[in-house]
């Protein structure tokens, strides 16, 4: 009996020692693979302070990163104008003044024209098509390669869905009604509008209401019913047109200074990437939810007429889109020795063409079936 007790005691001691060694090994491995350094970063955005969904999305991203990283990556978010002007976000992140930025690629068309394809293309792909291209069709890799010379890493972080066509002070019945019209409209859509004879004006969202109210512009696009109603655009123009031919699925971006990005441990990089994807879906879902509610409110207003652009006008704008993009690609190639615009244009069009074959049999066919009576 005594011998058995001694043997049992030795066995227990051996087991405890072995487990302690194993736990110590696991703890050592964990500490060696995960840096405990705390990073404090700044993010600047192109959105006004407290701007619903867009600025909220940037702040939600920062909160989720903080929680998932257990406080190892803390991001302070600044709205447009609080730390840097809204339209200088790209430069601020590229130069390392701040570590992160949130906006949409078409804002940097003057610096990097080909970035517009990663934002929205007139008569192009909607959110579903853009996601398919970016995440599975090589679009994101191409986007990151295009941004690399500017010392930037980039991930998608948001999509507006199909936008509205805009607010106009007069009815638009034909292409002639666009000629000479002063409209706030950015990106490739703005170039097409200019090709159609209009005068393109680019301004920050905070300036739109006053400009339209005082007659500095004759029309404006902003986003969709929810944000347009919040901005009070229904009080400045009577005619609200659809569809948003110029922005069928506008992508937002999370820009990160690449030099700072490479200093992050691998697990924090993965947290940033995953959080950006989660917030991207959150922004899109918020847009779809709130737009249907805001549209119902706008339909009840006596001073607002919700109208569809005439089909023949849409067809002409569609033809002008191809002409504009072809000319832009040729000009940048020949006059500015920039082959990247055509490279991204070709990649986008190749994917869009193949995707449209499926889209016709899926979404388009289904939507037409709903109209049957």
Segment 12-30, tens digit of pLDDT: 444 444 544 443 433 444 3
pTM above 0.75, yes or no: yes
* 208 within 8 A of 233, measured Cβ to Cβ: yes
User: Considering the chain, what percentage of its residues have pLDDT values greater than 70?
Assistant: 91
pLDDT tens digits along 68-100: 999 999 999 999 999 999 999 999 999 999 999
Has residue 183 been placed in a domain? no
pLDDT digit string (tens) for 220-236?
999 999 999 999 999 99
pLDDT of residue 34: 58
The pLDDT value recorded for residue 203 is: 82
Q: Write down the pLDDT at residue 173.
A: 95
Number of domains in the chain: 1
pLDDT in tens, 340-355: 999 999 999 999 999 9
Structure tokens at 269: 């990089």
Domain with 129 in it: what CATH number?
3.40.190.170
Strand order in the sheet with 39-45: 73-78, 39-45, 100-103, 251-257, 152-159
Parent domain of 138: 40-158+249-289
CA 4 to CA 235: how far, in whole Å? 92
The DSSP string of 47-79 is: SPTT-TTHHHHHHHHHHHHHHHTTTSEEEEEE-
Residues 269/261, Cβ–Cβ less than 8 Å: yes
Sheet holding 182-184, edge to edge: 199-201, 182-184, 219-220, 166-168, 239-242, 305-308
- Residue 16 forms part of a structural domain: no
Mean local confidence (pLDDT), 136-145: 98
Residue at 346 is within a domain = no
Instruction: Please tell me the predicted confidence (pLDDT) of residue 33.
Output: 44
């Amino acid at each position: 009996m005594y011998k058995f007790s001694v043997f049992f005691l030795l066995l227990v001691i051996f087991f405890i020692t072995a487990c302690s060694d194993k736990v110590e090994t696991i703890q050592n491995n964990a500490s060696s693979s995960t840096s405990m350094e705390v990073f404090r970063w700044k993010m600047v955005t192109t959105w006004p302070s407290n701007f619903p969904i867009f600025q909220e999305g940037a702040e939600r991203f920062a909160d989720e990163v903080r929680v998932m990283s257990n406080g190892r990556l803390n991001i302070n978010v600044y709205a447009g104008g609080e730390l840097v002007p809204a339209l200088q976000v790209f430069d601020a992140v590229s130069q390392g003044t701040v570590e992160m930025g949130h906006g949409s690629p078409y804002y940097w068309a003057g610096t990097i024209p080909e970035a517009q394809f990663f934002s929205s293309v007139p008569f192009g792909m909607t959110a579903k098509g853009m996601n398919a291209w970016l995440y599975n069709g090589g679009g994101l890799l191409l986007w990151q390669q295009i941004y690399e010379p500017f010392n930037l890493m980039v991930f998608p972080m948001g999509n507006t869905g199909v936008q509205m066509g805009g607010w106009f002070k007069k009815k638009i019945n034909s292409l002639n009604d666009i000629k000479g019209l002063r409209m706030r409209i950015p990106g490739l859509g703005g170039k097409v509008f200019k090709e159609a004879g209009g005068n393109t004006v680019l301004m920050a969202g905070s300036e739109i209401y006053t400009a339209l109210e005082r007659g500095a512009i004759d029309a404006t696009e902003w986003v969709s019913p929810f944000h347009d109603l919040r901005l009070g655009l229904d009080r400045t123009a009577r005619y609200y047109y659809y569809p948003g031919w110029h922005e069928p699925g506008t992508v937002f971006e999370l820009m990160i200074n690449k030099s700072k990005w490479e200093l992050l441990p691998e697990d924090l990089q993965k947290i940033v990437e995953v959080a950006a994807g989660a917030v991207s879906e959150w922004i899109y879902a918020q847009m779809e939810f709130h737009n249907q509610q805001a549209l119902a409110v706008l339909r009840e207003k006596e001073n607002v007429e919700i109208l569809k652009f005439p089909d023949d006008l849409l067809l002409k704008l569609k033809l002008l889109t191809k002409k504009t993009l072809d000319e832009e690609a040729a000009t940048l190639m020949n006059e500015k020795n920039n082959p990247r615009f055509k490279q991204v244009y070709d990649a986008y069009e190749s994917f869009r063409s193949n995707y449209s074959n499926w889209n016709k049999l899926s979404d388009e066919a289904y939507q037409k079936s709903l109209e049957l009576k």
